Amino acid sequence: MVKEFHLYCGNTYPEDCLHTLSEIERVYGKADIHTTQVSALSTALFYNGYRIFVHPVKGPVFEITLGDCANTNRVIREGHNLERLLIAGEFDTEDTIVYGHLQEDN
């Protein structure tokens, strides 16, 4: 069964969004996850049946996939640290700012 992992990087997220790792651990593997917790972002999600969607501060939602991936020229591999890549701006483009100091209302 394919589940979805949605990471919200801005100030807008669903009311039932999870904000702590302990909240995520309670539902991990059993349900779709909607969270603001960037530390939960990992390639392990792929092997536990999740598709990963990122809701950036600015720009359209995109999916992180193994191999060729949206918003980057990098080939994503199992050993990559997705959290670090995201924070470092690897998935930022001319039209997309994923994570960082920019606020949604700017």
What was the pLDDT predicted at 102?
47
What was the pLDDT predicted at 93?
94
User: How would you class 7 by CB atoms within 10 Å of its CB: exposed for 0-12, middle for 13-18, buried for 19 or more?
Assistant: buried
Domain residue ranges of the chain, discontinuous segments joined by +: 3-87
pLDDT digits (tens, 9 = 90+) for 82-93: 999 999 999 999
d(CA 39, CA 27): 16
Rounded to a whole number of angstroms, the distance between the first and last alpha carbons of the chain is 39
Nearby residues of 91 by Cβ (< 8 Å), 6 or more positions away: 54, 56, 62, 64, 70, 71, 72, 85, 98
